[in-house]
A and B are shown apart, each in its own frame.
Chain A
Amino acid sequence: MDTASHITLAALGQQLLVGLSRTTILFIVSSGLSLILGVLRIPNVSHGSLYMIGAFVTYSVATFIGGQTGFWVALAVAPVAVGLLALAVERGIFCHLYEREHLMLLLFTFSLMLVLGDLVKMTWGSDYRSLSAPPMMQGSFSLGGMPFPRYNLFLLIMGPLVALGLWALTNKTKIGKIARAAAVDREMVAAMGINVSWVFAFVFCLGCLMAGLGGALVAPTQNITQGMDHAIIMEAFLIVIIGGLGNMWGALLGAAIFGITDSIGILVWPQFAIVFPYVAVTIVLVFRPKGLLKSTW
């Protein structure tokens, strides 16, 4: 690997920051997945589809309104739209299935992924779309001689904000505390007179909303395509697993491992960059099969 000798410190730093902004997206998406896994115990395969829908809705809303406001409106509208879609699915079909085996639930969400994927194709067609960052965040600034996109800085700020918000929601609010209690012992929570069914609906909706938010935030940074769902869901699952099922900080840690190995991998050995995160995940799982941090299961 003689390519490694060309790596300068500045390039390394730049790539590290790129990796961290990627971490933000991965964290937001996988924290939603982790929430659903932790409380509802459902490996939601359709999570990636909701992320993709979030990106497409963002594209449509932002280009329809246009300009600066277009993006900000889209950023607010897309996650909510995705959350409402998830709520409808949960109340309409999904809530009747909770007593089934994990495998059935997984296959149900997989079939949902197949349906949503084709619905996206019907609505937006098979061509890829691209959305430019809002005007105030276009361009880049210099960071030790290397250019760094402004939008990525925005992502770096969003990551901790979302993490903090999610932490406050699950630890400081009543419904968050109920949801955490339901994750540990749902019968007990139900016995206390709490409508667990609606708690589940809330958690599912919130988790999917995070997928939509991830999709909205990623929209200006890459092509919005069919197949976004396949790519992200596998990564999100692995992140949740290496972090520890249902543990939000674990999702953050896992996302960082994934994002950073990926971006450093691009620097070291571009052709096989895609392999690096999987190697990292495998190493973690061989030594810590249940994840790095404590699972809430």
Chain B
Amino acid sequence: MQNQKLISSRSLILMAVLLAALALFPSVASRYYIYLAALMLVTGLLASSLNMVLGFGGMYQFNHAVFYGVGAYAAALLTVRGGVSPWWGYLVGPLAAALLSLIMGIICVRLSKLYFGMLQISLGSLVWAVVFRWYSFTGGDDGLHGVPVPRLISSGEGAYYFVLIVSVLCLALMYLIVNSPFGRVFMSIRDNPERAEAIGVNVRLHQLIGLVIAGFFGGVAGTLFVTVEGTVFPDMLFWTLSLEIIIMCLLGGWFTFLGPMLGGAMVVALRAVVGTYTDYWTMVLGIILMLLIFFLPEGVLGFFLARLGRGRTAREEN
């Protein structure tokens, strides 16, 4: 891997075209579609942040939504209750999520797989329960509505461009992290923790750092959600959303870097399209997921990358 280029020129061109298309999108699309595209970016970023630990670290993070929600709530509460400029939220939201991730990580990281996931869920439920009930501070089950957004980015188009720029920056950062020596070690832990331990890797520490990174970017996604929707509510922290995020990773391809982005966009699009025809959209999602588990366990992007035989999937089959 050492002398391989970080990004092949072919995919670089593809990225540039995609980015140009995304940048020009608001000039051709209507308000609703701009909003939807922004939501897809936010959701995709959220799924990508989970995949940092799920796909690349092999850690069963079952309650990732908590970091999304805490990031969003921290940003919203800072403005609504603290009365400071909303711009601060973009700094405080992700940091609050990262801090929570650190605390929960310290408690959970000594456990493996299912036990890890279960303890994460229980700690996450605790946070959810507090948010859900603390009416005077968090707004309880009603959440907070009309959260102020900086004027510069408060319009639909402004929010879209802001979300686009931040998501692309975050994705680039995550890509660098995954391809850094840290990322390589992280993946080696996923593939064989005992061997990694044997060659002198501090497994727990790497996992903890991975969790904090994932929590941080989950928090970024949360603040972007506030930018797009101007609202926060406790369902953002609920465990069903966490499992939905896992579905997104799986749907797009959890061993590919951009798979979760695609999966997140697909779930948002599905909900928007199916939701206009029927009230039973979750059933459609459930059936799609069942089919996916049977026929495409590597996800959509993973399937195509394997088919094309090029592009590195994160998990090298041996």
A binds B: yes
- B293, A111: Cβ atoms under 8 Å? yes
Give the total of A residues in contact with B, Cβ under 8 Å: 40
B122–A114 contact, CB under 8 A? Answer: no
Contact A279 B289, beta carbon cutoff 8 Å? no
B107 in the interface, Cβ–Cβ < 8 Å? yes
Whether B257 sits at the interface, judged by CB under 8 Å, is no
Nearest A residue to B289 by beta-carbon distance?
A: A111
Which one of A96, A102, A111, A121 contacts B280 once the chains associate, using CB atoms below 8 Å?
Answer: A121
Query: Is the CB–CB distance between A275 and B133 below 8 Å?
Result: yes
Map CB proximity to B onto A101-145 as digits: 1 under 8 Å, 0 otherwise. Answer: 011101110111111011101100000000000000000000000
Report if A114-B133 is in contact (Cβ < 8 Å); known contacts: A230-B240, A278-B122: no
* Interface check B111, CB cutoff 8 A: yes
For B97-130 the 0/1 string (1 means CB < 8 A from A) is 0000000000100110111001101110110011
Q: Which of A83-111 contact B (CB under 8 A)?
A: 93, 96-97, 100, 102-104, 106-108, 110-111
CA distance A110 to B117 in the complex (A): 15
Contacts of A234 in B (CB 8 A): 121, 125, 239
CB pair B243–A281 under 8 Å, yes or no, is no
- Assess A117 versus B293: contact at CB under 8 Å? Given A107-B243, A278-B122, A278-B129: no
Segment touching B, from A55-63, A202-210, A283-291: A283-291
B125 touches A118 (CB 8 A): no
* A103→B60 CA distance, assembly (Å): 8
Contact A114 B286 (CB under 8 A): yes
With contacts defined as CB atoms under 8 Å apart, how many contacts are there between chain A and chain B in the complex?
105
Q: Do B286 and A97 touch across chains, with their CB atoms under 8 A apart?
A: no
Question: DSSP majority for the B interface?
Answer: helix
Contact between chains at B129 and A110 (CB < 8 Å): no
Q: Report which of B110, B282, B297 forms a contact with A104, defined as CB distance below 8 A.
A: B297
| The residue from A100, A110, A241, A274 contacting B132, defined by CB atoms under 8 A apart | A274
In the complex, the answer to whether A285 meets B119 with C-beta atoms within 8 Å is: yes
Whole-angstrom distance between the Cβ of A264 and the nearest chain B Cβ = 16
Chain B nearest Cβ from A159, distance in angstroms: 24
Q: Does A282 contact B (CB under 8 A)?
A: yes
B133–A107 contact, CB under 8 A? no
How far is B289's CA from A115's CA once the two chains are assembled, in angstroms?
Answer: 10
Q: Which residues of B contact A104 (CB under 8 A)?
A: 293, 297
Q: List the B side residues contacting A281 at CB < 8 Å.
A: 122, 126
**Contact code string A156-181 (vs B, CB < 8 Å = 1, else 0):** 00000000000000000000000000
Nearest CB in chain A: distance from B133 CB, A: 5
Contact A271 B122 (CB under 8 A): no
Pairwise interchain contact A290-B135, C-beta atoms closer than 8 A: no
Contact B240 A271 (CB under 8 A): no
Task: Name the contact of B285 in the complex, choosing from A106, A111, A289 (C-beta under 8 A).
Answer: A111
Expressed in whole angstroms, the minimum distance between the Cβ of B63 and any Cβ of chain A is: 10
CB pair B282 A107 closer than 8 Å: no
Specify which chain B residues have a CB less than 8 angstroms from the CB of A119 in the assembled complex.
283
Cα distance A93–B279 in the bound complex, in angstroms = 25
Complex Cα distance, B132 from A234, in Å, reads 15
Which residues of B sit under 8 angstroms from A103, Cβ to Cβ?
Answer: 60, 246
Report whether B293 and A279 are in contact in the complex, using a CB–CB cutoff of 8 Å.
no
Distance from A281 Cβ to chain B, minimum over Cβ atoms (Å) = 5
Q: Say yes or no: A114-B115 contact (C-beta < 8 A), given A271-B133, A274-B132, A278-B122.
A: no
Q: Which residues of B sit under 8 angstroms from A121, Cβ to Cβ? A: 279-280
A197-238 interface code vs B (CB 8 A; 1 in, 0 out)? 000000000000000000000000000000000100010011
0/1 string, B36-59, CB within 8 A of A gives 1 = 000000000000000000000000
Q: A104-B293, A108-B290, A289-B115 are in contact. Are A275 and B283 (CB under 8 A)?
A: no
How far is B282's CA from A122's CA once the two chains are assembled, in angstroms?
12
**B125→A93 contact, CB < 8 A:** no
Q: Is the CB of A274 within 8 A of B282?
A: no
Query: What is the distance, in angstroms, from A176's C-beta to the closest C-beta of chain B?
Result: 24
A107 touches B247 (CB 8 A): yes
**A45 contacts the other chain (CB 8 A):** yes
A107 touches B240 (CB 8 A): no
In angstroms, Cα B292 to Cα A97, docked, is 12
Q: Does B203 count as interface, using CB distance less than 8 angstroms?
A: no
Q: Residue of A at shortest CB range from B240?
A: A230
Q: Which of B126, B129, B280 contacts A118 (CB 8 A)?
A: B280
B285 touching A114 by the CB < 8 A rule? yes
Residue of A nearest to B125 (CB): A278
Tell whether, in the assembled complex, residue B118 and residue A241 are in contact, meaning their CB atoms are under 8 Å apart.
Answer: yes
B48 CB to nearest A CB, Å: 18
Min C-beta distance of A91 to chain B, whole Å:
15
Residue numbers of A with Cβ under 8 A of B are: 43, 45, 93, 96-97, 100, 102-104, 106-108, 110-115, 117-119, 121-122, 230, 234, 237-238, 241, 271-272, 274-275, 278-279, 281-282, 285-286, 289-290
Some 6 contacts from A to B, beta carbons below 8 A apart, are: A93-B290, A100-B293, A111-B286, A114-B289, A118-B282, A274-B129
User: Can you add 18 more A-B contacts, CB < 8 Å, to A104-B297, A111-B247?
Assistant: A43-B114, A45-B243, A108-B293, A111-B285, A112-B290, A115-B282, A115-B286, A115-B290, A117-B282, A119-B283, A230-B238, A230-B240, A234-B125, A234-B239, A272-B134, A281-B122, A286-B107, A289-B119
B residues adjacent to A (C-beta < 8 A): 60, 107, 110-111, 113-115, 118-119, 121-123, 125-126, 129-130, 132-135, 238-240, 243, 246-247, 250, 279-280, 282-283, 285-287, 289-290, 293-294, 297
The 7 A-B residue pairs with the shortest CB-CB distance, nearest first, are: A114-B286, A118-B283, A111-B289, A115-B286, A111-B286, A278-B126, A118-B280
